[in-house]
Amino acid sequence: MRVGMGYDVHKLVEGRDLILGGVKIPHTLGLLGHSDADVLLHAIMDALLGAAALGDIGKHFPDTDPKYKGISSMKLLEHVGNLLTEHGYVVENIDATIIAQKPKLRPYIEEMEQNIAGVLGIAKDQVNVKATTEEGLGFTGNETGISSQAICSLNGFFESSMEVGGGSRCASCSGCQKR
């Protein structure tokens, strides 16, 4: 099993949509960023990439590349999911927290979880999203930004079938060529 953690923060500004977990949330402010600035998905992507030792979102989706200007972070998450598959990993679970004073996010969390699970091709019960405030403290408390933290676990496709330390033999196979 591999574990990864991610963290992201974006500034709240006027004139931008507030998008979290792929859900457009009614609010007077939105998050500033090169893409749609979905702070929740950015933290989740960094956790997934970290668990697979594949770098971070800045490596894969640099904010200097015009093709990512305004892009939906759901598309970026889909790309990360494809990278995990290409490298032989499956997502076991994701647990994430959004830190924001306003707006109240409880009504949108189930849709966020469904969006994340759907794009990654996993069950909704493998994704948990929470929201909290910082009781008026700090940049999230004074509503100048929103942050998010995420942790995830991954397993390799063949991880549970390989002998520990053997690396080249199947633990339960008696007749293949790897013996």
- Helices 39-51 and 106-120: angle between axes, nearest 10 degrees: 40
Ligand-binding site membership of 61 (annotated): yes
Q: How confident is the model at residue 159 (pLDDT cuts 50, 70, 90)?
A: low
- Ordered by start, the domain boundaries in the chain are 2-92+122-158
> Is 56 part of any known ligand binding site?
yes
Instruction: Reply yes or no on whether the pLDDT at 167 is more than 50.
Output: no
pLDDT (tens digit per residue) in 35-75: 999 999 999 999 999 999 999 999 999 999 999 998 999 99
Give pLDDT, residue 158: 65
> Which of 1, 21, 5 has the alpha carbon at shortest distance from 146?
21
* pLDDT per residue as tens digits for the range 109-157: 999 999 999 999 999 999 999 999 999 889 988 899 999 999 999 998 7
Q: Does the annotation list 38 as a binding residue? A: no
Q: Is 135 annotated as a binding residue?
A: yes
pLDDT at position 163, please?
43
70 annotated as a binding-site residue: no
10 annotated to a ligand binding site: yes
Residue 36 assigned to a binding site: no
Q: Please check if 35 is assigned to a binding site.
A: yes
Q: Does 17 count as an annotated binding residue? A: no
How far apart are the C-alpha atoms of 149 and 40, rounded to whole Å?
7
Write the DSSP string, 36-97: ---HHHHHHHHHHHHHTT---HHHHS-TT-GGGTT--HHHHHHHHHHHHHHTTEEEEEEEEE
* Residue 87, marked binder: no
**Residue 27 known to bind ligand:** no
Domain covering 2-92+122-158 assigned CATH 1.10.150.120 in the classification:
no
